Amino acid sequence: MMVMASSPFGGRTRSAVLVALRLLGQSYARELARLLDARLSGVQQALRGLESDGLVSARAVGRTRLYCIDTRYFAYDELQRYLIRLAEPERGLRRRIEALRRKTRRAGES
């Protein structure tokens, strides 16, 4: 799990999910749970709450729900900047995301 000192979005998992979505662009619950070393049920609950609060949106891709930060959120630009600042000390998370991107790219190149 991330090393956040506080939970600015109502809970550590909610905050961590938002930071991860900002770094990834889009993701699904199982991938977020793996990256954040969090329980899947906790990540799913956080995503449902963030979606109902209007911070994230989801779309179906087959049987998977793909989440991203909602561009219609009233303070979208400010939120993006804030999440980048929150991500600065999260070196471990950024490394895991980069490793995931390299792995995905290699798999797609085949």
DSSP calls for 41-79: HHHHHHHHHHHHTTSEEEEEETTEEEEEE-TTSTTHHHH
How many CA within 13 A on the CB side of residue 6? Answer: 3
Residues near 83 by Cβ (< 8 Å), separated by ≥ 6? Answer: 18, 19, 22, 69
- Quote the pLDDT of residue 2: 55
Domains of the chain: 12-109 (1.10.10.10)
pTM over 0.85? The answer is yes
The pLDDT tens digits for 52-72 are 999 999 999 999 999 999 999
For residues 20 and 28, is the Cβ–Cβ distance under 8 A? no
Short-list 41, 38, 29, CA closest to 68: 29
